[in-house]
């Protein structure tokens, strides 16, 4: 039986811990929880978890401590109180050097940030990106697989955080592109909610930006490689449509700096010369 502790019962941490509590009710997991706010602790205890009065107390009871708190300083405070006994699994998104800093302090650490938001946490469909040793990963894996449907051991300590930052670069640059597209659509007299429905519908079919992420390298593609013709087709379509969108923006007086940056960079970024 896995003895798991969970610290930080916020918008994402609470539904993650509730998934573990459901597993605890089946007898596969023993779960202890701690948070400074009493209400989520009460909800977890009603779901079958056991509450403790401090992080230090929790660290003495469990084999694995999952942490989902606000920032690096809170992670450090939890790590100091947990001590060197259990595996510390940091689900918070922290600075790239924080996992190694924690590991250098004598703790056994996994950095395991998540992607999927409160919805993914609630239904157990999170992607969890893990950095750390094989032994620590094996210890935490049963708990991780309760909380996420895609658990990736990305590499040594720090790799999970680096993967999360790369993933979120896509996320927030894409959000910025969406704001640009919305301004263009609004100036063109379009319904932005209808546009949003189209985007969500087609991204669910094509995979969105992830649709081009199948190669194992970002190096240039040699002519004759299978991916060369595939991405050359993507480039041709992209350059055509970006050119048309920029022309429409010029006609309507809308600033589209990301589109202008993307047009000359698309082919090279895809690996085409």
Please give the Cα distance from 23 to 30 (Å, whole number): 8
CA distances from 29 to 23, 123, 140 (A): 6, 18, 12
Tokens of 268: 């090279």
Q: Is 240 a catalytic residue?
A: no
Residues 67 and 88 sit within 8 Å (Cβ to Cβ): yes
Sign of CA dihedral 98, 102, 105, 108: negative
Helix, strand, coil shares of the chain, percent, nearest 5, are 55, 15, 25
Residues 123 and 144 sit within 8 Å (Cβ to Cβ): no
The active-site residue out of 150, 164, 240, 268 is 164
Residue 241 sits at the vertex; the CA angle it makes with 240 and 245, to the nearest 5 degrees, is: 120
Q: Strand, helix or coil at 99?
A: helix
Q: Which residues are known catalytic residues?
A: 164
């Amino acid at each position: 039986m896995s003895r798991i502790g969970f610290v930080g019962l916020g918008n994402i941490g609470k539904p993650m811990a509730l998934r573990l509590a459901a597993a605890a009710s089946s007898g596969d997991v023993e779960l202890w929880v701690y948070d400074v706010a009493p209400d989520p602790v009460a909800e977890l205890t009603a779901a079958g978890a056991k509450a403790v009065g401090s992080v230090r107390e929790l660290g003495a009871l469990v084999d694995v401590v999952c942490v989902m708190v606000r920032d690096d300083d809170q992670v450090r405070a939890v790590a100091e109180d947990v001590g060197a006994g259990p595996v510390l699994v940091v689900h918070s998104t922290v600075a790239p050097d924080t996992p190694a800093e924690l590991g250098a302090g004598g703790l056994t650490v996994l950095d395991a940030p998540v992607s999927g938001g409160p919805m993914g946490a609630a239904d157990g469909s999170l992607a969890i990106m893990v950095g750390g040793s094989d032994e620590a990963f094996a210890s935490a894996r049963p708990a991780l697989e309760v909380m996420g449907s895609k658990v990736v051991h990305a590499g040594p300590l720090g790799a999970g955080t680096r993967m999360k930052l790369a993933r979120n670069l896509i996320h927030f640059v894409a959000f910025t592109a969406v704001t640009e597209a919305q301004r263009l659509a609004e100036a063109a007299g379009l319904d932005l909610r209808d546009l949003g429905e189209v985007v969500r519908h087609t991204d669910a079919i094509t995979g969105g930006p992830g649709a081009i992420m199948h190669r194992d390298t970002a190096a240039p593609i040699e002519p004759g490689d299978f991916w060369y013709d595939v991405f050359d087709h993507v480039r041709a379509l992209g350059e055509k449509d970006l050119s048309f969108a920029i022309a429409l923006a010029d006609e309507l007086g809308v600033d589209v700096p990301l589109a202008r940056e993307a047009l000359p960079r698309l082919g090279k970024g895809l690996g085409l010369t």
